[in-house]
Structure 1
């Protein structure tokens, strides 16, 4: 293991020169400390050109070709698992962790050895952090999270902390589902461990000004459907309803979908 750190933070970066410092600074300041692995997915300006590694706790891995989120994160995870860390904290290069995020998730994972991964509540915002849109509150009860996983992600991937042993048992990110690789990974982890959430807002999640394109959204729904079919459990009614819900959403006109989604968010709903 590198130094005495038990936690590696994995930051995937692609053309993130404007925001990456905000993402990394809270991780470096965290107690207990983190070793930060930044995987640069062939950004136009290499991360190493503008990110100063002043204390030796930042490792930058640059890919020579743009490989996408799954392959990029796997490149870092291979090194993280080999280094012997206990946990890996997922962090996107445009999100901002709260100062106590790492400490609270480590304490939760230490106290719950059956949990393979945990997320947190997340506060969604546009570029101005004061312009908060909503807080995504997912249940912390592993039984409730298991039920949610039949429908969609029951754990916030953006704020996830994963037990390294769970990754060794379940495997890394699959490249077979390019728009839902996180959902596939957590379904596999959920077959072997419990999944949970720390019921506190420990991450500020930045919303892209342009939002998610409908083409990307439909690909995500299609990949989600394939994953739901792959891990289908006939004895769970939620599995049937989850597939039906994804099919309905996939076939729904984009304008109607956006109207319903906006209405749910206005009432404090999820993502």
Structure 2
């Protein structure tokens, strides 16, 4: 496992998967403005061309502790699993996620790391999220999630509670929940965070600390029906004899037949 070694400078590692989106990756790195120290792991999933040379990023972002790993194209699930193996091997305490193109608000990592440090009982921590249109940079919606554990346990049966690029969690949790499930092609984060909610105390910071880009090529757009089916599987595997389990199944089934364009308009007017 020597390929996972790095020059570790912090107890926190931010994982950024990358595939053919250099402009988005640069925007993400430019958004990192933190008080705490942290390492950044960029996993280039066989981009064409691959991220070359390292010096370009090192010169442009001298304040960041960057490490770039290049692999043959394996897909987002394998890349995400590699990231978890990486932080395990290097014995990080905390790990966070950011997708290339998504933006961190100032001190996003600082706020989350300080919260987890002050609340040792919390293993998974999310934040509110602003969705913006990649082409126009205009806000589409601001998504606010439940801020109590009872609310989180109920809401996750209906929809995502922890948007992937908002999360930070304790690496120690991997011992119990394992890695991202490989059989969830387009809803791996939803299924994975369900495990956290079932096994640990989780929390939500009631602030918008992430701007998440929405484009016509995102998974939520082009593979939405498959994503909904995967969510139905995840809900079914987390059965509980509570009303919200049955309501969540019904709600998710309805989402399967609703056009994405209508749902996007609904988000725009409802969540603002």
2:269 counterpart residue number? 266
Maintained 8 Å contact 1:116/1:162: yes
> 2:174 matched to which residue of 1?
167
Q: Paired residue for 1:179, among 186, 204, 209?
A: 186
Within 5 Å, give how 1:124-203 maps onto structure 2.
Answer: 124-127=131-134, 131-203=138-210
CA apart distance, 1:228? 1.0
TM-fit CA distance, 1:215? 5.2
**Within the alignment, does 1:243 sit opposite 2:249 as a pair?**
yes
Instruction: Give the deviation of 1:238 after TM superposition.
Output: 0.7
Are 2:24 and 1:16 equivalent residues in the alignment? no
Question: Which blocks of at least 5 consecutive residues in structure 2 are unaligned?
Answer: 1-5
Partner Cα distance (1:154, 1:213) in 2:
15
SS of equivalent residue, structure 2 residue 120: coil
The Cα offsets for residues 245-271 of structure 1, whole Å up to 9 and x where unpaired, read as 112222x253xx5324412431226xx
CA shift for structure 1 position 86:
1.0
SS in 2 for 1:18: helix
Q: Secondary structure at 2:209's aligned position in 1?
A: strand
Indicate the larger mover: 15-24 or 202-211.
202-211
Paired with 1:209 and 1:170, the residues of 2 have a C-alpha distance of 32
User: Contact 1:13–1:92 at 8 Å: present in 2 too?
Assistant: yes
Distance 1:129 1:24, change over 3 A: farther
Report if aligned partners of 1:13, 1:40 keep a CA contact under 8 Å in 2. yes
CA contact (8 A) 1:125 1:204 kept: yes
Quote the residue 1:74 is aligned against: 81
The normalised TM-score by structure 2 is: 0.89
Which structure 1 residue ranges, 5 or more long, are not aligned?
A: none
Residue matched to 2:38:
34
Distance 1:114 1:201, change over 3 A: same
Secondary structure (helix, strand or coil) at the match of 2:69 reads strand
Q: RMSD of the TM alignment (CA)?
A: 2.1
Normalising by the residue count of structure 1, what TM-score does the alignment of the two structures yield?
A: 0.89
> Does residue 61 in structure 1 map to residue 69 in structure 2?
yes
Mapped partners of 2:208, 2:82: distance in 1: 29
Contact 1:2–1:83 (CA<8 Å) still a contact in 2? no
Q: CA distance change for structure 1 residues 198 and 102 in 2, over 3 Å: closer, same or farther?
A: same
2:34–2:110: 8 Å Cα contact kept in structure 1?
yes
1:100 aligns with 2:100: no
Q: Could you tell me how far apart the structure 2 residues matched to 1:214 and 1:19 are?
A: 18
* Displacement after TM superposition at 1:185 (Å): 0.7
1:87-136 C-alpha deviation (Å, 9 max, x unpaired): 11100011111121011001111222222111111121123675222211
Take 2:15 and 2:71, find their aligned partners in 1: how far apart are those partners?
A: 15
Match of 2:12 in 1: 7
Residue 139 of structure 1 aligns to a residue in which SS?
A: coil
Task: State the alpha-carbon separation in 1 of the partners of residues 155 and 52 from structure 2.
Answer: 39
- Paired with 2:83 and 2:217, the residues of 1 have a C-alpha distance of 28
Alpha-carbon distance in 1 for matches of 2:17, 2:146: 26
**Contact 2:9–2:65 (CA under 8 A) maintained in structure 1:** no
